Amino acid sequence: MRKQIRQANVLSTQQITPHLQRIVIGSEEFKGFNSSLIGNYVKVLLAKEPELTSEIEMKNAWMRSYTIQDVNEETGALTLDFVINMHQGPATDWAQTAKIGDRLAIAGPGPKKLDDFTQAHYVLIGDLTSVNAIKGYLKQLPASAHIDTLIHIPSAQDKIDLDTQRPVNWLVTTTPNESVAKALTGLALTSDSIVFMAIEAGLMGELKQFFAKQYQVSRTQIVASGYWKQGVDSENYKLQRTQSANAK
User: Is-same-fold flag (5-110; 121-228)?
Assistant: no
Q: What is the pLDDT of residues 43-95, one digit of tens each?
A: 999 999 877 767 898 888 999 999 999 999 999 999 999 999 887 788 999 99
Q: Which amino acid is at 129?
A: T
pLDDT for 235 equals 60
19 Cβ contact list (under 8 Å, min separation 6): 83, 84, 85, 86, 128, 153, 154, 155, 158
Looking at 3.30.70.120, 2.130.10.10, 2.40.30.10, 1.10.357.10, the CATH number of the domain 5-110 comes to 2.40.30.10
Neighbouring-strand partners of residue 232 = 229
Confidence of residue 1 (pLDDT cuts 50, 70, 90): very low
Residue 152, amino acid: H
pLDDT digits (tens, 9 = 90+) for 183-221: 999 999 999 999 999 999 999 999 999 999 999 999 999
Confidence of residue 19 (pLDDT cuts 50, 70, 90): very high
Q: Which amino acid is at 82?
A: F
Domain 121-228 is found in CATH 3.60.15.10? no
CA dihedral of residues 128, 130, 135, 138 (deg, nearest 10): -120
| Domain coordinates in residue numbering, the chain | 5-110, 121-228
Cα torsion 39, 43, 46, 48: sign: positive
d(CA 105, CA 44): 6
